[in-house]
């Protein structure tokens, strides 16, 4: 009797599972029309290889693929590669995202709720629309690469290899639907041109030494976090360097919720963040455009900070602000975004028991030194970084 009961239960369970596979929803998607995507794509050309690229927004992606890829942390990048040469070319998806998703992996992550036939159709569609790896002579091929989703502008490379030459293209593309916190920032109209002092060469040291030590509250009275780094270069070049080094933009909505810090009578011009794997640690840089230039290049003052997970729901501020400063330098170095570095000794050394930080009511400490960074929009070899002979770096042996 027990054997019969177990057999009956097994049959019922098998039928139930089979029925579940049949009654799942069908796979529905919009027919692929990449004309609008192609129209907004940016193109790069190197000898016989032409690459066009665009990033899909969340709604656009959901329509084309019938599933919410962004919910799984997946962001499709559309590529078109034209090979006008006489030999085959090969595209390397790993150059665009070191841990890109394969089409079947994307299908597996989005299988929930679909019938068996729906899952099969999803797999076929993702395979059919994926970017091919090989482009024959005289051929133009296009498709999607499934990358990890990032907020804001997306920086990535596209590497194409031929039999005798390799081609590397760098893109910095805006993601549809994302509004960065600096969207309405007007660098041109911020300071009257006559009020700006341009320092030539190392004379900028004097101008930087006159800059404020710390951010303040809105009234400009209470001392905030130290301004612990300086970046010299155009805003666009700095943006490219930040994104290539793993820093992410902050949306205007997120920035509006953050507690404002003030410098030069205004809140920060932009916020960038880097989140560690698992979200255990968050680094943040707030930038202000300074009222001076260096060899006609913009000067940005930065406030780098670090937060880490704590027992409560709120992240804990790391009082070692030099750690955030040094982490930022390392990210630029390994992101191949740093071309020159100099150090300025601080006018004040803040001991560990200091209670300067009245904005957060948390003590912090610092050696007071500021790195001055010249960033590169294009990849820059680590071995070629110039170390300027200004002040000694912190911890340097006499």
Indicate the pLDDT class of residue 276, thresholds 50, 70 and 90. confident
The separation between CA 172 and the C-alpha centre of its own chain, rounded to angstroms, equals 10
Task: Output 339 or 221, whichever has higher pLDDT.
Answer: 339
162-215 confidence digits (pLDDT tens)? 988 999 998 889 888 889 999 888 888 888 877 789 999 999 999 999 999 889
Question: Helices marked H in the chain — which ranges?
Answer: 2-23, 35-40, 58-65, 103-109, 116-129, 204-209, 235-244, 252-257, 321-334
Question: What's the mean per-residue pLDDT of the chain?
Answer: 87
Q: What's the CA gap between 118 and 66, in Å, rounded? A: 11
Q: What's the CA gap between 131 and 212, in Å, rounded? A: 51
Q: What's the CA gap between 267 and 62, in Å, rounded? A: 36
Write out the two tokens for 144.
Answer: 């999607």
153-163 confidence digits (pLDDT tens)? 888 899 999 98
Predicted local distance difference test score (pLDDT) of residue 207: 95
Predicted local distance difference test score (pLDDT) of residue 177: 87
The angle at the Cα of 20, spanning 16 to 23, to the nearest 5 degrees, equals 130
Q: What is the DSSP letter of 188?
A: T
Q: Which residues 6+ apart lie within 8 Å of 315 measured at CB?
A: 282, 307, 308, 309
pLDDT exceeds 50 at position 40: yes
pLDDT, average across residues 312-339: 90
Predicted local distance difference test score (pLDDT) of residue 151: 82
Q: What is the CATH number of domain 24-173?
A: 2.60.40
- Name the pTM for this structure: 0.78
pLDDT exceeds 70 at position 312: no
The residue behind tokens 């060899």 is 295
Write out the two tokens for 396.
Answer: 């340097």
- Which has the closest alpha carbon to 370: 274, 319, 300? 300
- Which of 31-35, 217-221, 255-259, 300-304 shows the lowest per-residue confidence on average (mean pLDDT)? 31-35
Q: Which residues 6+ apart lie within 8 Å of 216 measured at CB?
A: 222, 223, 224, 261, 262, 263
- For the chain, the straight-line distance linking the first and the last C-alpha, in angstroms and rounded, comes to 89
pLDDT, average across residues 71-88: 96
Q: Where in the chain is the domain with CATH 2.60.40?
A: 24-173
pLDDT, average across residues 373-381: 91
Per DSSP, the residues of 345-375 read: --S--B-TT----TTTT---BB---EEEEEE
Predicted local distance difference test score (pLDDT) of residue 360: 55
Q: Is residue 250 a contact partner of residue 180, using CB atoms and an 8 Å limit?
A: yes
| Buried residues in 113-142 as b, exposed as e (16+ CB within 10 A) | ebbeebbebbbebbeebbbeeebeeeeebb
Write out the two tokens for 292.
Answer: 């001076």
pLDDT, average across residues 130-158: 94
pLDDT exceeds 90 at position 42: yes
CB atoms within 10 A of CB 32: 13
């Amino acid at each position: 009797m027990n054997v019969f009961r177990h057999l009956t239960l097994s049959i019922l369970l098998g039928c139930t599972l089979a029925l579940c596979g049949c009654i799942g929803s069908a796979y529905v998607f919009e027919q692929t029309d990449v004309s609008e995507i192609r129209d907004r794509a940016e193109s790069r050309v190197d000898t016989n290889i032409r690459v066009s690229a665009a990033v899909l927004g969340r709604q656009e992606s959901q329509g084309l693929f019938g599933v919410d890829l962004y919910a799984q942390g997946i962001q499709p990048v559309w590529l078109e590669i034209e090979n006008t040469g006489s030999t085959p070319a090969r595209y390397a998806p790993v150059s665009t995202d070191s841990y890109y998703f394969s089409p079947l992996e994307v299908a597996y992550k989005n299988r929930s709720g679909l019938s068996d036939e729906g899952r099969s159709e999803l797999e076929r569609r993702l395979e059919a629309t994926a970017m091919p790896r090989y482009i024959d002579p005289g051929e133009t091929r296009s498709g999607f690469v499934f990358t990890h989703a990032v907020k804001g502008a997306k920086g990535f490379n596209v590497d194409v290899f031929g039999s005798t030459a390799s081609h590397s293209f760098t893109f910095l593309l805006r993601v549809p639907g994302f509004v960065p916190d600096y969207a309405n920032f007007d660098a041109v109209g911020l300071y009257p041109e006559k009020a700006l002092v341009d320092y030539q060469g190392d004379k900028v040291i004097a101008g930087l030494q006159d800059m404020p030590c710390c951010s303040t509250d809105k009234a400009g009275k209470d001392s905030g976090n130290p301004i612990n780094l300086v970046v010299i270069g155009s805003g666009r070049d700095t943006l490219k360097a930040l994104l290539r080094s793993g820093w992410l933009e902050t949306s205007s909505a997120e920035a509006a919720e953050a507690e404002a810090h003030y410098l030069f009578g205004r809140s920060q011009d932009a916020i960038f963040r880097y989140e560690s794997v698992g979200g255990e640690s968050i680094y943040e840089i707030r930038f202000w455009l300074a009222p001076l230039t260096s060899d006609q290049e913009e000067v940005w003052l930065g406030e780098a900070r670090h937060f880490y997970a704590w027992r409560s729901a709120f992240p804990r501020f790391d009082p070692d602000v030099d750690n955030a400063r040094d982490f930022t330098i390392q990210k630029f170095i390994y992101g191949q975004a740093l071309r020159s570095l100099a150090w300025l000794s601080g006018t004040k050394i803040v001991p560990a028991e200091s209670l300067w930080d009245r904005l957060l009511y948390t003590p912090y400490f610092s050696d007071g030194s500021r790195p001055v960074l010249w960033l590169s929009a294009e990849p820059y070899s680590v071995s070629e970084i110039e170390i300027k002979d200004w002040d000694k770096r912190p911890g340097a042996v006499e």
